[in-house]
Amino acid sequence: MADKDGMKIAKDYHIDKPFAKQGGFYVKGMSDVDWGMKARLANIFQPESGHTVMLAFDHGYFMGSTSGLERLDIVIPTLAEHIDVLMGTRGAIRTCIPASTGKAVALRVSCGSSILDEDLSHEIIGVSIEDAVRMNASCMAVQTFIGADGEKESLDNLCKTVDAGLKYGIPTMGVVAVGKQMERTSRFFKLATRILPELGAHIVKTYYCEDFEEITSACPVPIVVAGGKKLPEDEALTMCYKAISEGAAGVDMGRNIFQSTDPIAMVQAVRMVVHKNATDKEAYEFFLDTKKE
């Protein structure tokens, strides 16, 4: 049994010091990965800013049709020109998104629970590495359930995906799930965002929370921030601004974009914060000036 007695509380995050091991490649912690993996990471994290705007529209994999995503074929292509990465399932991307958009793909590869299930934490890997290669995936996304029933199997999914991706130079994004059984404290997020890169994840998707700077400091790979449930646009932009100011390398947002009163104005506002150092106030003013009445 692991010895948990006598563990000291972590506190030396050195938030003011840049990450030490950059080795000439701008994506955090990725100086020693293979050329192909660097090229895929550069499709995700834009070389000019080092950041990314991912559009999450993978909700159907466990929720079915979601408000705002009833017609993926209509909604997603209109947003695609304003984003860097399409995050979705192979079924949604193949059937609804023209390959000619030329955007990077964060391919959802884990699945196995639906909203009809009380416990969503039991997933499998539902996409082979060969199909991820065929889809030209720039990374593969695996849901993980730290502290929930399905913790061990989800970490097994993550490790197996990392191993498969390493063979072909495809990075893995570990997604920190929150659920009924799980805490949403900074203690929980600190734990989860450290376990996933230690197991080999190249990118971590998590939620914004208190002590976020400590979380980004202690995580040796880039963190992208999840959007979560729909907020008023100004609040969503403030969350985005705080996350980027406190060390996130981008966002992976869904409902806060496609359920906005004007999704195109909103995605452009998010992009200003992520790539152009705009403040939340500037971005919200842009949103108000740009949105259609």
Binding site for ligand R5P (CB under 6 A): 56, 58-59, 175, 177, 226-228, 253-256
Query: Are the C-beta atoms of residues 265 and 258 closer than 8 Å to each other?
Result: no
The span from the CA of 176 to the CA of 180, in Å, is 13
CB nearer to ligand R5P: pick between 59 and 202: 59
Question: Which residue shows structure tokens 């971590």?
Answer: 204
What is the closest distance, in whole angstroms, from the C-beta atom of residue 117 to ligand R5P in the complex? 15
Least gap, CB of 24 to ligand R5P (angstroms): 32
Are 101 and 129 in contact by the 8 Å Cβ rule? The answer is no
CB of 227 to ligand R5P, least distance (A): 3
- The residue with tokens 């913790």 is 151
**Cβ distance to ligand R5P smaller for residue 11 or 229:** 229
4 noted as active-site residue = no
Ranges assigned E (strand) in the chain? 52-56, 85-88, 104-108, 110-111, 124-125, 139-144, 172-176, 203-206, 223-226, 250-253
Residue 142 bridge partners (DSSP): 174
Q: How many CB atoms lie within 10 A of CB 143?
A: 25
Q: How far is the CB of 14 from ligand R5P (least distance, A)?
A: 29
CA dist list (Å): 79 to 72, 91, 162, 249, 269: 11, 18, 30, 20, 12
Q: Give the number of C-alpha atoms closer than 13 A to the C-alpha of residue 164, restricted to the C-beta side.
A: 22
φ, ψ at 250 (rounded to 5°): 155, -170
Catalytic residue among 160, 205, 242, 291: 205
Tell me the torsion sign for CA atoms 130, 131, 134, 138: negative
The least distance separating ligand R5P from the CB of residue 43, rounded to whole angstroms, comes to 19
Give the active site residues: 205
